[in-house]
Amino acid sequence: MVNDSRRERARSVAASSPVAVVVLDSERRVVALSPEAERLLPGVGLDDRLAEDALVAQPEILALFFGALPELSAYQELRMGFTAAVSHELRTPLARLLALLENATLPGSDIDGLMEQAVREVEETRELIDDVLFLGELETGREVVSLGRTRAKPVVDEIVDSLADRADHAGVTLAVDGDLDVELPLRPRMLRVVVENLVANSIRYAGQGTTCTIELLSGDDGPTLTVSDDGGGVPVTDLPRLFERFYRGDQARTSRGTGLGLAIVKHIVTSAGGTIDATSEPGRGLTIRIAFPRS
């Protein structure tokens, strides 16, 4: 059986999980359920015994077993939940890839079209793996986030140029505004990661006919970087979870993406001593503002 302290921690981890996770003890009794798992397992409650065939019928549910495990620290439990989420996220493109390959064996199938889609699925999987590895490097301290200062405008211009075709295809106009000589306390590589993820997020979700503006300012309290768009915005209920790993609002669920971009941005910014916040109103766009203390 699982003691009370571990039971409470398991429930806390499951409650914040964006994917379907059920935690079981050694007797297959339910210790914790994530909200998504509760939806997929109607009628199943805490301490109920969950038969194996119930999980087989719901392959999207990830089962974690606590029964025979040694006492885990909160950090280990968090990492376990993260691993479960990564596993879930990898299943989706792999399942689509398998379906495409199976369709390619059918008579009269469009081999070229299916292979083109399969290549996109492989690229999406590689992007997810790259983001997971990069976030892992950040969390273990292998990447020095803040080392000296970087003049931001040339980096922003470079990223805008590199994303121009993608923005045109999405019908999004990119604009750069503010002070030309703003310096941010980030290595050039880290600044590129931050700006690229924020701009790519606007390109992906703002919508046709919108504008994404990257603004650099030197305020009395310190420099700021703001990326805003005038698109559809984000529901108020989604804002508090915008920077969570793998969290996707209703709009984002219909779009491709690893679900890690904004989480990586937040980690970089906070590691460098900065703050990040998002504001939005439905129909009035999304604004993400990053502020660093005055040096």
**pLDDT given at position 156:** 94
Question: Do 13 and 133 lie in a common domain?
Answer: no
Question: Do 216 and 177 lie in a common domain?
Answer: yes
- What CATH number is given to the structural domain containing 41? 3.40.1170
Question: Do 130 and 185 lie in a common domain?
Answer: no
**pLDDT given at position 3:** 59
Task: Single out the residue of 225, 224, 198 nearest to residue 212, CA to CA.
Answer: 198
**pLDDT given at position 112:** 84
Whether 281 maps to a domain, the answer reads yes
Structural domain for 53, as ranges: 4-65
Question: Do 244 and 197 lie in a common domain?
Answer: yes
Whether 75 maps to a domain, the answer reads no
Q: Is 253 helix (H, G, I), strand (E, B) or coil?
A: helix
Residue 185 contacts residue 145 (beta carbons within 8 Å): no
Whether 251 maps to a domain, the answer reads yes
The stretches in the chain having pLDDT less than 50 are: 1, 68-78, 80-81, 250-258
Question: Do 154 and 237 lie in a common domain?
Answer: yes
HEC sequence for 182-216:
CEECCCHHHHHHHHHHHHHHHHHHCCCCEEEEEEE
Question: Do 271 and 183 lie in a common domain?
Answer: yes
Q: How many domains does the chain have?
A: 3
Q: Return d(Cα 61, Cα 52) in angstroms, integer.
A: 12
pLDDT digits (tens, 9 = 90+) for 211-220: 999 999 998 8
Question: Do 183 and 272 lie in a common domain?
Answer: yes
pTM of the model: 0.56
Instruction: Specify the DSSP element, H or E, that contains 20.
Output: none
Whether 135 maps to a domain, the answer reads yes
Question: Do 222 and 102 lie in a common domain?
Answer: no
pLDDT above 90 covers a percentage of the chain that reads 24
Q: What angle do CA 232, 238, 240 make, to 5 degrees?
A: 130
Residue 63 contacts residue 55 (beta carbons within 8 Å): yes
pLDDT digits (tens, 9 = 90+) for 30-57: 888 888 888 888 888 888 888 767 766 6
**pLDDT given at position 29:** 84
Whether 242 maps to a domain, the answer reads yes
pLDDT digits (tens, 9 = 90+) for 129-163: 665 666 665 555 555 565 678 899 999 999 999 99
Whether 213 maps to a domain, the answer reads yes
